[in-house]
Chain A
């Protein structure tokens, strides 16, 4: 919460006024029993009609005052809570945008989304409730105690015993049940897992005739859940009866003590009634307070989580100026090593190579051989743990963040499109303030082998793209993301296994088109298929993070055992049958 407090600073005024007004409203409530005592003692027992009428008038005025105070207070607290949440959300969103890949990776996408949505909403309602009730409820509890003391110090002793007793019951039950509810939730999660598993694995389960076994384990799960839930329910079922007994027995005791003191002329009848009314007020507020504490606990936990993300510092720094221009840049690696946090072996170790401007570099290797790690270093998505990556002869760390990235076109492994239109997705690839003609877009689509299917769409460039591009096939998405990278005419083009869903013919046509680009980018093609990279000027063969070989297809085929093996598994049949 400490990390989030600055965002509340702008609402300092609201944060003071709202609780203050709520306390005043509470004060109004505290006066009512006194008025009733007056009504009975001076009005009825003193047979004074004017007292009765004026008490009635006062009660109406108090009610109106209470309403007015509450209405203003609620407005201020709503304003502070909602405004605060908005500010935090904007700050968090911006902060996430500025995090480096590796910092954000460590947190994880699912977590980031929950922080931005559920957690912030939780904090918002926590603040709203706190502003309204955190002061008010204790104020009434202690206010009623003080008022009772003022009426009769001796009877107030009953309050002094009742209040801690009630608090003990309300919070004791809460303390006992909260961890148990977590256990119940755990059991429910187990049930959920079984359902999900059975839906995803319906075919396999039926193929192995496991339906009965699965049903048995589900029934076991629901049994355990029911047992746990009933056990927990048994404890929370105590709250109402226990508080009822305590408050009403205390009230009975109050009447008894009151009766003796009235008999002795120390108290009046009206005062006894007033004491009874204060007792009733205390119970209501204690229950409210218990609910409030649950809300606040949740909100604080959420605030802590949001704060942790906000405190995550990006592990990358950039120079103050933009750094050198990037045009027709070559790429060099000097003894580069990458080791991700928490992993045992390095993903890349001691990689060195040079790619001249305009060259095409193929990168091949098995899963987990470090292909993606290598290309991710070029636009500086990650920093190497050792060694230097040079673009255009300068260390990538010498460039301003956007300077380098604006000149690199990356097509990631996972084809990600955004909801909008084909045009809006392609323009994503252009510089923020760059004008791009339709002709340029079509040219990019043509190179990416996407022009034909885009032109067949009724909307053409304005065809809608749904979230995650789910209205396009895998191959279409890949081609659109390739076109997106081409729109900016990058100096360096990186295709990270981004043609895997294309058939061989389309893949070949794509490679041919890329080779004839008029802006001659230095191109990196990552692939698992030899056919995709065999024509490259230079091929890097990666094996478990190490550079096993470097050279042209023919050279590697003659000298590199890993390359030979890969070639063999992919082309064996050809040779067998040739």
Chain B
């Protein structure tokens, strides 16, 4: 049966998905809607009661105190009820809003943990962060608050009209006909302001870019005495900004006076006509005051609604961005019946693997490699040649396109990811330190480790010395209490692996930004770790490369040569060229 595809606007699609998150709170939302209806009805009825009481105050000696007291008592009661209902409604809205935000955020975060790294690598983290934080906030505030406002706004308009008609048809028609004027005025202004706002934000963006660039490069600027030229450039942008800002600010500030003016017009006409009607006895003075107070408030919900609609659209857009993240395809699940590894010895086999990040650009094709336990494999090549690709494949950060990778003779795709990764220890050049204590940072792979074990690992990594000199030793919160140097960060990362000491190691040697002495220490730590273990080292140092049992030479993402140092030198290929240019000319 072919399905008939209904054309669905993206907005309604998003709304439907959003409903999933809101459904959980449907009872609360229903209650909020009921309360909102009660608040609107009661507060609309108040002017009527005020009018009725005015009608009991006719003049000297002509005041019906008995009747008045009765009305005033009802009024007081309804005022108390209204505010109570309002309060409850606020509390409920609060609760629903923040819980929905929380649900969305939690889902988004869980998704981040399950996204393939290819997504994280290719998307700026700032964008993902703003979805989880700003978009979630805007969505909740806009959609939920907007919804109740829209509801009570519409209710207010309808209620006002009905009540006005019950007072007097002519008055009601007058208000009905005149109010659109205020809407037109508001629309007119906002459409005219828009272009100024747009150019303002464009120029502002241009200016921020200039500021950003010039402040970041201020030392170069001063070194070359270019302040004056840059100042001129800045002044020019500033002048344009001043011009467009002035008009944007001015025109937007006209909205209030203009709607106020139209309101006053309606009010004047209504007052005049109402008074004439009262004169002919068709309405009472009390009814006139009620009608006037409606006329005064009537345009308010209209203005609010037009504001709410923009906000709703904005929040739907935010919800869309957030849902887009939540609905991203996840990485393939672990096999339902995973194999397990009893004893890790460190045997790794690549069987005829092919891999590329993008289909257009082939990288590794039909590559096989057999690594017996205890082998030291060095990966070398010029900068940016894709040395980390192999790490990505071994750790299953990326999956091969074809072929298989075996750990201890078992396909890594038949294992649980966590079992696979337990077999590997990884130290990347791009160090990552969590904002927590040194202790927790080191114990990442073994949260149950004792302090003595942690210290032992740190000692092996030559990190114990500087850690003890930190303000609170192993309880120092990194990134908050202190900022570590690049070399120190690397030592912490090494200590992490020292603590778990898995059978296979993946190490990324440091290139720059570490001075020779620290580098020597790191090297000693690396050497200690790799003894007796299978290791894959992205190597920059001659000694590592020479002592490797096997060297993989990479160029432009491909593995072009394999062998040990002497074999490769004898071949006189790319490795020889690389070796000569990198090291021999020293």
Contacts and interface: CB of A to CB of B under 8 A. Distances in A.
Interface stretch (B252-260, B361-369, B407-415): B252-260
Interface string B384-397: 10000000000101
A79 B66 CA distance: 58
A330 B90 CA distance: 76
Interface string A72-84: 0011011101110
Interface in A88-126: 89-90, 93-94, 96-98, 101, 104, 109, 112-113, 116-117, 124
B398 to A, nearest CB: 11
B426 A204 contact: yes
Contacts of A500: 512
Contact of B267 (A59, A78, A473, A504): A59
A276 interface: yes
B485 A428 contact: no
A74 B254 contact: yes
A45 B516 contact: no
Interface in A538-578: 565-566, 569-574, 576-577
Nearest to A112: B215
Nearest to A129: B253
Chain B interface helix/strand/loop/mixed: helix
A90 B79 contact: no
A93 B231 contact: yes
Nearest to B273: A56
Nearest to A83: B242
Nearest to B101: A226
Contacts of A262: 57-60, 63
Contacts of A199: 112, 120, 125, 128-129
A168 interface: no
Interface residues of A, number: 154
A405 B294 CA distance: 73
Contacts of B98: 226, 229-230, 233
Given A52-B272, A89-B238, A241-B90, 16 more contacts: A55-B275, A56-B271, A85-B245, A93-B211, A197-B434, A201-B434, A204-B428, A207-B424, A237-B87, A259-B56, A262-B60, A367-B514, A367-B518, A419-B209, A419-B213, A503-B581
Contacts of A569: 516-517, 519-520
A263 interface: yes
Q: Closest 10 CB pairs between A and B?
A: A56-B272, A63-B264, A237-B90, A59-B268, A366-B515, A265-B60, A70-B257, A241-B83, A233-B94, A97-B227
Interface in B341-385: 382-384
B57 A259 contact: yes
A550 B267 CA distance: 91
A86 interface: yes
B404 to A, nearest CB: 21
A282 B279 CA distance: 30
A487 to B, nearest CB: 10
9 contacts: A36-B271, A47-B279, A53-B272, A78-B249, A97-B231, A199-B112, A244-B79, A259-B63, A504-B582
Nearest to A212: B113
B106 A219 contact: yes
A381 B397 contact: no
B223 A74 contact: no
B60 A78 contact: no
Contacts, number: 402
B226 A571 contact: no
B126 to A, nearest CB: 9
Interface of B: 43, 46, 50, 53-54, 56-63, 65, 68-69, 72, 75-76, 79-80, 82-84, 86-87, 90-91, 94-95, 98-99, 101-102, 105-106, 109-110, 112-114, 117, 120, 125, 128-129, 132-133, 204, 207-209, 211-231, 234-235, 238-239, 241-242, 245-246, 249-250, 253-254, 256-258, 260-261, 264-265, 267-269, 271-272, 275-276, 278-279, 285, 288-289, 292-293, 296, 382-384, 395, 397, 417-418, 421-422, 424, 426, 428, 432, 434-435, 444-445, 447, 485, 487, 493, 496, 512-520, 541-543, 546, 581-583, 585-586
Nearest to B293: A280
Interface in A391-416: 401-402, 405-406, 408, 410, 412, 416
A266 B172 CA distance: 34
B234 A418 contact: no
A269 interface: yes
A263 B65 contact: yes
Given A379-B223, A432-B229, A265 B61 contact: yes
A245 B79 contact: yes
B220 A256 contact: no
Q: Which residue of A132, A200, A202 has the most chain B CB atoms within 10 A of its CB atom?
A: A202
Contacts of A531: 585-586
B416 to A, nearest CB: 9
B447 A416 contact: no
Contacts of A116: 211, 215
Chain A interface helix/strand/loop/mixed: helix
Given A63-B261, A90-B238, A97-B222, A55 B272 contact: yes
A521 interface: no
B133 A191 contact: yes
A238 B84 CA distance: 10
Nearest to A225: B102
Contacts of B257: 25, 66-67, 70-71, 74
A528 interface: yes
Contacts of A62: 264
Q: Which residue of B102, B256, B265 has the most chain A CB atoms within 10 A of its CB atom?
A: B102
Interface stretch (A151-159, A247-255, A321-329, A452-460): A247-255
A386 interface: no
A405 B128 contact: no
A413 to B, nearest CB: 10
Nearest to A574: B586
Contact of A244 (B83, B383, B514): B83
Nearest to B53: A255
A47 to B, nearest CB: 6
B228 A74 contact: no
Interface in A501-521: 501, 503-505, 508
Contacts of B229: 432
Contact of B87 (A79, A90, A229, A241): A241
Contacts of A207: 395, 421, 424, 426
Nearest to A61: B268
Contact of A258 (B57, B91, B296, B517): B57
B486 to A, nearest CB: 8
A157 B25 CA distance: 47
A367 B521 CA distance: 14
B226 A44 contact: no
A206 B94 contact: no
Interface in A218-233: 218-219, 222-223, 225-226, 229-230, 233
A201 B94 CA distance: 34
A60 B268 contact: yes
B288 A40 contact: yes
B83 A504 contact: no
A64 interface: yes
B444 A269 contact: no
Nearest to B117: A202
Contact of B234 (A90, A195, A196, A571): A90
B90 A195 contact: no
Contact of B99 (A98, A226, A276, A577): A226
Contact of A44 (B79, B208, B278): B278
Contacts of B105: 191, 222
A63 B271 CA distance: 13
B370 to A, nearest CB: 24
B432 A273 contact: no
Given A40-B288, A203-B395, A230-B98, A244 B82 contact: yes
Given A78-B249, A248-B46, A468 B279 contact: no
Contact of B120 (A109, A202, A412, A565): A202
Contacts of A508: 585
